[in-house]
Structure 1
């Protein structure tokens, strides 16, 4: 039963998203005969769904419900990609799949995405034939809290994903929390991506006993790829989000526990800050490429603005290094001046980009069989955020931006669709600190120029990483032309499913 807290949370999100269209109709289907998983998957031709019979036929909400063309996903951590794939197979929308994947990342890649952090997503909804941005970066603090030696960002991930679900979800939100909850409670394998991040910051990370208890192996050594990682406290927190609703983390009993435990961890969060932090539904930064509309994340997710500046330069014939410099200057100008993003993009007197080291992030892209697409970027504003776990909650606290040396991450994502055809064409998510905007702009420019998705990915300068979906003959349209690709230099996975 929906709790009163969850009901209030839904009312809050509804007030943010009054223009949401009606929910997609739930489709009924029969058994999925085969799953094809490849790092770069060319998704097969569009199939159909029918009413299931008896005899163990998967039902709506069960993996294998959808038969035929399913969609695709690419993410920087394999278990998150598989969680999204399973939701698509069970009849969920791209928004549902992105929610499940984002929550799974909080378990399997908490160095870059976690309940203590945040992010931003672009959503293309074919029934509304529009792209909108759901923006929920880790919240800033108005001042350094008394006694906080590592001020924590106000957590935004759960509320942001809830807002995405409110816009275009089909499956119950609690159903989408369960895979992450189970992975945290009963354990999952450490991926190469997580193992690399643990090794990079092991010494300061293990200074926190709660973090060391999770991320250190036998003898206090960093967990290696393939080792088992179990996070029972995080599993309990996710179970609370599933049963009591996301609102409990912001205005209920879980919020009060987080306030107390964050003080013990030097983060200094307060219930009023948690209650007041809400995601925003914003229009994206947009431009034309022929008959297509190209959308990027808007500020305060200013990596999208940087990607828009770099993309425009590439479309104008600039070399990749020139385009990258333009994008960096656009982001620097917005951070210095603020104002209308379109004015910043058009300005000629942009300042040079600063030399500050920017935080890590991670990205994912999801497409469903109806052509709905979501591309997201997430961050903790530092690898593992503050490096401290709020005791008893399992939540790694994100780093508060604008305090000390902590800068906001360049959250970068872009999406292409045809307003005339009411169809999806391409989407990209980028990571890699300063290189994240070009990890979006360059692959999108290349696929729009006729390159296939596999050759378009991996072209951004180090340390840029791209997750890409491309349907050159559009979707709805020719599903057989669609590809999902993860950057070969990373440790992610691209996946989809078809009926053989």
Structure 2
């Protein structure tokens, strides 16, 4: 069994608490009003957004609302894993074309100052036992994958972290430029599904950027996930509803498929770099291994020309990276195995199903984190996307970040995209050396400290 340990959230308010206590002891209770006037009585309580001041870290993703959800989590005292859970669950509502709850992904986690080192989490969608049906679908793995990662390293409650996504689905989330672009690509093919048409189309046309959409059934599913737990999604009452409902959209996912879909935690693919004794940890799937091989090439010759994987039409994906102020970091890549997966929502659940692996070429789920193993500190995090260019994007963006101490000074070759965080003098260490960027050719957002 893998070793279990948790990232500890720093005691951000310790210094302030000591100073307040000393003030009261030395001057007496009559000074409470003066102390309150200095520190402020209306500050958000720890655990709520805005309660942590100063350097928070960074969050970068391809969808702005997901980025802001992650930043809010950091500002409430959450760590990098908590922030990634907030990012991932928000994507279920804001970018289901690439990262719906029916999809899957791969991540790398770096727990700063931990002797255990970085860990990889693999939860791509798996093929069902039977491929019978009009539109075979992959077994949803997002909820279980994020839950396992959070169980190992999270600090805030999982149900608290997915609560904002539930609220956005219930009361309305704004269509971002990134999601509007994906909708414009699929057009009438997605409208053929009545459930999808009711949410994503107006008068027969895809909704445009700035439109508010309500996803009542998805909100109910997230509420069930929050109250009954992730286990119910895979082996409880909800799992039975999902399995039964999948038959009506040609997916043929069984209850046994849901029960058997398990994420994995393992050692990442490790590659030595030529930069200050740093190492780079990559995701463990085909995309991560391809990125690791390309990075090795660049470590030997930074001017080397990198090929993509040689294939065309690989499935769309998306990436995100998070960093907290203690140096803990996460880099992830997510996919539906096809833009909008099967294009079918399971009636009554709001779950958009991913395409089954094997029907299409596998997506390149590629992400990486650079760190110094001797000091146990963070150096850089990269998430790659862009179909057949995803692995190349991860490798080239990581090499550039380590060489230049900048984030995306040179953009990955088309069609690759990258999200990057880098701290040239490491973290913990020098927060002033940290930079972050999202690929300007996309429509994402990078957000960090005040």
Q: Shared topology, TM-score over 0.5? A: yes
CA separation of 1:261 and 1:134: change in aligned 2, threshold 3 A: same
Which among 338, 347, 364 is matched to residue 320 of structure 2? 364
The residue aligned with 2:128 is 141
Which among 63, 76, 79 is matched to residue 62 of structure 2? 76
SS across alignment from 2:206 = coil
The residue aligned with 1:131 is 118
**Does structure 2 conserve the Cα–Cα contact (< 8 Å) formed by 1:28 and 1:50?**
no
**Does structure 2 conserve the Cα–Cα contact (< 8 Å) formed by 1:359 and 1:409?**
yes
1:245-394 pair list within 5 angstroms: 245-290=229-274, 291-298=277-284, 301-317=285-301, 319-321=303-305, 323-325=306-308, 328=309, 353=310, 355-394=311-350
**Does structure 1 conserve the Cα–Cα contact (< 8 Å) formed by 2:280 and 2:369?**
yes
Structure 1 length-normalised TM:
0.83
**Does structure 1 conserve the Cα–Cα contact (< 8 Å) formed by 2:312 and 2:388?**
no
Deviations 1:160-203 (A, max 9, x none): 00011011101000000101000100001100000000010011
Structure 2 length-normalised TM:
0.92
The residue aligned with 1:45 is none
Which runs of 4 or more aligned residues in structure 1 lie more than 3 Å from their structure 2 counterparts after TM superposition?
48-54, 318-321
User: Is it true that 1:465 corresponds to 2:417 in the alignment?
Assistant: yes
Count of residues in correspondence between the two structures: 428
The residue aligned with 2:375 is 421
Tell me how far 1:75 sits from its aligned partner: 0.3
Tell me how far 1:422 sits from its aligned partner: 1.3
CA separation of 1:320 and 1:266: change in aligned 2, threshold 3 A: farther
The residue aligned with 1:446 is 400
CA separation of 1:214 and 1:50: change in aligned 2, threshold 3 A: farther
User: 1:49 and 1:200 mapped to 2: Cα distance?
Assistant: 52
Structure 2's unaligned 5+ residue stretches are: 21-35
User: 1:417 and 1:49 mapped to 2: Cα distance?
Assistant: 31
CA separation of 1:261 and 1:143: change in aligned 2, threshold 3 A: closer
User: 1:56 and 1:273 mapped to 2: Cα distance?
Assistant: 50
Deviations 1:272-318 (A, max 9, x none): 110111100011111111300111111xx211111111111112216
Tell me how far 1:438 sits from its aligned partner: 1.4
C-alpha RMSD of matched pairs (Å)? 1.6
Which among 374, 386, 398 is matched to residue 432 of structure 1? 386
User: Is it true that 1:484 corresponds to 2:436 in the alignment?
Assistant: yes
User: 2:125 and 2:102 mapped to 1: Cα distance?
Assistant: 7
CA separation of 1:162 and 1:49: change in aligned 2, threshold 3 A: farther
Deviations 1:237-273 (A, max 9, x none): 0000000001111000110000111111111111111
CA separation of 1:387 and 1:104: change in aligned 2, threshold 3 A: same
The residue aligned with 2:449 is 497
User: 1:121 and 1:360 mapped to 2: Cα distance?
Assistant: 17
SS across alignment from 1:428 = strand
**Does structure 2 conserve the Cα–Cα contact (< 8 Å) formed by 1:26 and 1:170?**
no
User: Is it true that 1:86 corresponds to 2:72 in the alignment?
Assistant: yes
SS across alignment from 1:112 = helix
User: Is it true that 1:152 corresponds to 2:137 in the alignment?
Assistant: yes
**Does structure 2 conserve the Cα–Cα contact (< 8 Å) formed by 1:49 and 1:67?**
no
- Which has more radius of gyration? 2
User: 1:72 and 1:28 mapped to 2: Cα distance?
Assistant: 16
**Does structure 1 conserve the Cα–Cα contact (< 8 Å) formed by 2:52 and 2:77?**
yes
Which among 396, 416, 420 is matched to residue 352 of structure 2? 396
Tell me how far 1:21 sits from its aligned partner: 1.8
Which among 408, 417, 420 is matched to residue 362 of structure 2? 408
CA separation of 1:190 and 1:265: change in aligned 2, threshold 3 A: same
CA separation of 1:222 and 1:402: change in aligned 2, threshold 3 A: same
CA separation of 1:83 and 1:414: change in aligned 2, threshold 3 A: same
Which among 67, 81, 106 is matched to residue 95 of structure 1? 81
Which among 173, 179, 188 is matched to residue 158 of structure 2? 173
User: Is it true that 1:203 corresponds to 2:155 in the alignment?
Assistant: no
Structure 1's unaligned 5+ residue stretches are: 1-15, 31-47, 329-352
**Does structure 1 conserve the Cα–Cα contact (< 8 Å) formed by 2:321 and 2:420?**
yes
Tell me how far 1:57 sits from its aligned partner: 2.5
User: 1:432 and 1:249 mapped to 2: Cα distance?
Assistant: 30
Tell me how far 1:415 sits from its aligned partner: 0.7
